[in-house]
Structure 1
Amino acid sequence: MTTDNARPPTGKPTRFTGRQRLILLVLLGAGFMLSVDFSILNVALPKVGDGVGLSRAALPWIASAYALPAAGFTLLCGRLGDLFGRRRLFLAGTVLLTAASLLGGLATNPAMLLTGRALQGLSTALTIPASLSLLTTTFREGATRDRVLGFNGALLSGGFTIGALVGGTLVSLLSWRSAFLINVPVAVAILALTPFLISESRVPGRVRLDVPGAVTVTGGLLAAVYAVIEKDIFAGAAGALLLMAFWLIELRSPAALAPVRILRRPTVRWGNYAGLVVFSMETSMIFMMTLYLQNVLGLGPLATGLVFGVPGLAAVLAGPVAGRLIGRRGYRTVLPLGLAVQTLATIPLIFLGSGRIGLAVLVPALLISFFGHVTSIVAYTVIGTSGLPNGEQGLATGLTTMTQNVAITIGIPIMSAIAATRVSELNGIHLALTVNVLFTLASAALVWIGLRPRPDHSAATSTPPAAAEVQGY
């Protein structure tokens, strides 16, 4: 007997109450704001560097200082939310974001600026897993949750692309400092509304934390991501050893930070692999196109922001559509299909030339690519968080968020290194995009195979049938 794991539990989504709409506004708004923060400065790095005296060679650290803590601490923070309260972690992350944005916006030297960016990254690690697990525990599994995660995926993806539009506009009309300070009033509003809308959640009983696991996974992720950014072999070796130690610790720990049983589930394994591909390849494509627009075509920050922002706004509509598609066709169909659409839309970009006529190809290609990207995000988030008890939602959302943060951190330096093997910048961009396309298409095929229906073992385990269907057992 087999279970059709391509079809998660379905049903007509219920209408949201007024209170639920406000909860969505707060939680989705926080996620959108933080995703905007990642890319908001990318189109104006030279101006930011000039403003605080940061050398051109050190400009990549404006993004890396944010991404390192965001990737390294996410899994730990997701579990802390399970143990000590998700609302508490969400509020703490929002408070930290407020302070970090003020520090970055008022920075007068490189140390202040990079510290502000690092604290923004840490606030992301605190806030995103907490907000996502609050969503998955507030809205019941099935069509309603799929719809909510569709909105969430759309806004996360939209934030990365719209961040370029917002950043270009703010920098052109005001100052690069406004890209930091715009967070403050939004964060204050979230802090004011959250205690009245969202109740606390925690695991009953004695709180235990896997300290050795927390130390090894956080240190391993930090070292591994640093190794990719700086091309440091020794840091990479240290990261690999720490992550191996983490795996061995989790096999034996009575209070595992990441129970091996969840890591062995096909849906968790292949869903997070797909997330790694989705974010690393799309963000690296956007970075390559930023270089193309500014260095090859000579566009400024505002024009560059418009090129990305307009398709990004339109692609937000893909989120609700993706949620409905998953309910009708199943994630095994929707996830590889989204990856394929994201990739096929990238193929025309390989042939862009140095003339501005290329914009006529670039803008519609971005629109289609972003639609596939949003659809893939929604599908992998549904896969990674379904069929689990509420007590493990922080762990599951921590894993999916960690995957996202690691991916957006490593994708750009890897593709940049590939592009740097060519003397001509345009030829380097073409080569990087070719590798992007081939890798993503191969990954779509692997995900399709990895999520194939499996024998139903639910009768021999304690997993409820509905959950087993989603897990792929």
Structure 2
Amino acid sequence: MTSRQRAVLLLLLGSAFLLAADFSLLNVAIPAIGSGLGFSVENLQWIATSFAITAAGFTLLFGRVGDLYGRRRFFLGGIALLVAASVLGGVATTPEVLIAARVLQGLATAIATPTALSLLTIAFPEGPLRAKALGLNGAMIAAGFTVGAVVGGLLTALLSWRWAFLINVPAGLAILIATPLLLSESRASDRAKLDVPGAVTVSLGLVSLVYGVSRAGEEGWSDPASLVLIAVGALLLVAFWLIELRAKAPLAPVRILRKPTVLWGNLGGFVTITMQTAVIFLITVYLQKVLNYSALSTGLAFGGLGVASFLGGVLAPKVIGRFGNRNGLFAGMLIQLLAAASLYLIGESRSGFVLVLAALAVGAFGHLTAVVSYMVTATSGLPNEEQGLATGLATMAQQVALAVGIPVISAVAATRIHALEATESATRAVLGGVRLALLIDAGVVLIGAVLVWSFLKRAEAARAE
């Protein structure tokens, strides 16, 4: 790397860390926010859900808009909006203002994350340097999620939950000052008109789908409103596909969506992130409801996961360089599923805590290897003018996965728990639900890994002919 590339990498890694930390900073502070602002118990979920829905729904749109109208401009706009939203959240005195701040933070993430990632892929040519940069980016995202949860807990306990918002302000201002000095503007050479029908259908479709799945996780999968929202979301996404087939300047050209590296790379990323998010949720339930650990002890138990995730992100480029994108993605998913399956051996005794720590660490290492591999795969083979779209798709897969993983797998666990409560103790019922959900989680990753490896191999063979 040149000295300028190192400086650019440092800036963009800092933004990746900040945006990832913002996702988890508030999670541990939710009970304190609820008490401080008078949230009802049933509305507490909106502190997290409002952020997730907005981030997932608008990522693809702003990734492409950045391509057309200036990536640096939109990156700066996203960080500026994050700073403003964090100030609003930090001074909020009502639930409505707090939720508005979280929506704006989600929108800021949807703007800044894909544009930052596209600036990163443009700064480093396809090959080992880009793989290394994306690996470090993945490592910083993992570190941001982990550190954000820890720092959020410390700030809430020692100062106030408001500082979980306000800590974003100085970091965001530093990025705003450094960006014009290090990054030049970039945009697609052929600036076509924005595909408004495509933008409307895909954004509303994703919002409806994610909201429906999130609501179903709370209200149950037989809830009519949830099913209607999911159906509407699916129909809007079908409409988006049909619009893109006919649009003169489509938001997401179908030829790119059909590209095997884009399609199967993003599917692999979606599966690995969805199921890893669910594993963390399930183990959190197990540690607190079965082993009776405190929230602090549970948080500390995930420290090893954070370290292993960071190592996975750092070492993934070496794996990719030696074995290729496809094999790196398959190997990472395989390690993740084996770790999840091994957790089926957990029981009511605390002697199994060592197994939990080991499985979480091994699974996290495999998970980050898979995440970096999918990012490299999903953004490869495309020109610079389409990197915003490619990174928008990759980030969209990530954001949607983060939002839907827990509701889907928790429904499996809840169904099993309710079935066992008639004949077993509460502790054994929870244990049975968690174990079944972990097995299904591992099975989904296995199916996804086999499909991704097979179709990517077929595409490679077709290109070689």
Q: TM-score, normalised by structure 1?
A: 0.90
- Cα pair distance change 1:426/1:109, threshold 3 Å: farther
Give 1:368 shift.
Answer: 0.7
Question: Cα 1:188–1:438, aligned 2, differ >3 Å: closer, same or farther?
Answer: same
Equivalent residue number for residue 451 of structure 2: 446
CA contact (8 A) 2:68 2:191 kept: no
Distance 1:397 1:444, change over 3 A: same
Bigger drift between 300-309 and 218-227 goes to 300-309
Partner of 1:152: 137
Structure 1 window deviating more from structure 2 (235-244 vs 372-381): it is 235-244
Question: Residue 54 of structure 1 is aligned with which of 23, 34, 39?
Answer: 39
Tell whether the 8 Å contact from 2:334 to 2:449 is kept in structure 1 after alignment. Answer: yes
In 1, distance between residues paired with 2:191 and 2:262? Answer: 27
Deviation at 1:456, TM superposition (A): 6.9
Q: Which residue of 2 aligns with 1:11?
A: none
CA distance in 2, matches of 1:272, 1:101: 30
Higher relative contact order (CA 8 A, sep 6+): 1
- Which structure features the higher share of helix residues? 2
Distance in 1, Cα, partners of 2:160 & 2:294? 15
2:333 maps to 339
Within the alignment, does 1:127 sit opposite 2:112 as a pair?
Answer: yes
Shift of 1:300: 3.6
The farther-off stretch of 71-80 and 305-314 is 305-314
User: Match of 2:424?
Assistant: none
CA 1:361/1:455 → structure 2, altered by over 3 Å: closer, same or farther? closer
Q: CA deviation at 1:173?
A: 2.5
Q: Distance in 2 between matches of 1:303 and 1:178?
A: 22
Describe the SS at the equivalent of 1:299: coil
- Between stretches 440-449 and 249-258, larger displacement belongs to 440-449
Letter in 1 for 2:64: R
- For structure 2, the 5+ residue unaligned runs are 217-225, 419-428
* 1:209-256 alpha-carbon deviations (Å, 9 max, x no partner): 101100111111111111101121111121111111111110011100
Partner letter of residue 42 of structure 1? N
Counterpart among 367, 373, 389 of residue 373 in structure 1: 367
CA distance in 2, matches of 1:233, 1:384: 31
Which of these residues, 266, 269, 275, is aligned with residue 263 of structure 2? 269
The residue number in structure 2 matching 1:248 is 242
Instruction: Verify: 1:184 aligned to 2:150, yes or no.
Output: no
SS in 1 for 2:87: helix
| TM-score w.r.t. length of structure 2 | 0.92
CA-to-partner distance for each residue in 1:122-148, whole Å, 9 max, x for gaps? Answer: 111000100000001011111111110
**Aligned 1:457-472 pairs, distance under 5 A:** none
Given residue 51 of structure 1, which amino acid in structure 2 is its aligned partner? Answer: G
User: Quick one: which amino acid aligns to residue 38 of structure 1?
Assistant: F
User: Partner letter of residue 269 of structure 1?
Assistant: L
SS at match of 1:336: helix
Alignment gaps of 5+ in structure 1: 1-15, 458-467
In structure 2, distance between residues paired with 1:64 and 1:25: 30
Between 34-43 and 236-245, the greater mean CA deviation after superposition: 34-43
Q: 2:284 is paired with a residue of what secondary structure?
A: helix
- Output the CA distance in 2 between the equivalents of 1:268 and 1:369: 24
SS in 1 for 2:187: coil
Partner of residue 418, structure 1: 412
Q: Is the 8 A contact 2:189 2:385 kept in 1?
A: no
1:436 aligns with 2:421: no
After superposition, the Cα gap between the structure-2 partners of 1:381 and 1:206, relative to the gap in structure 1 and judged at 3 Å, is closer
SS at match of 2:92: coil
Structure 1 window deviating more from structure 2 (201-210 vs 216-225): it is: 201-210
Quote how far apart the aligned CAs of 1:347 are. Answer: 2.1
Task: Give CA deviations for 1:153-199 in whole Å, capped at 9, x if unaligned.
Answer: 12223322333222223223322222211111110100010000000
**Residue of structure 2 equivalent to 1:465:** none
CA distance 1:215–1:369, shift in 2 (3 Å): same
Give, in whole Å, the separation in 2 of the partners of 1:456 and 1:367: 35
CA distance in structure 2 between the aligned counterparts of 1:65 and 1:31, rounded to whole angstroms: 20
Greater CA drift, 109-118 or 201-210: 201-210
Range 47-56 or range 27-36, more displaced: 47-56
Q: How does 1:211-230 map to 2 (within 5 A)?
A: 211-230=196-215
Counterparts of 1:202 and 1:133 in 2: how far apart (Å)? 10
Aligned 8 A contact 1:165 1:309 in 2? no
Which secondary structure state, in structure 2, belongs to the residue aligned with residue 54 of structure 1?
Answer: coil
The structural deviation recorded for 1:257 is 0.3
Deviations 1:105-127 (A, max 9, x none): 22222112211111111111000
2:291 aligns with one of 297, 306, 318: 297
Given that 2:87 and 2:165 are in contact with CA atoms closer than 8 Å, whether structure 1 keeps it comes out as yes
The percent identity for this pair of structures is 54
Q: Is the CA contact (8 Å cut-off) linking 2:202 and 2:236 kept in structure 1?
A: yes
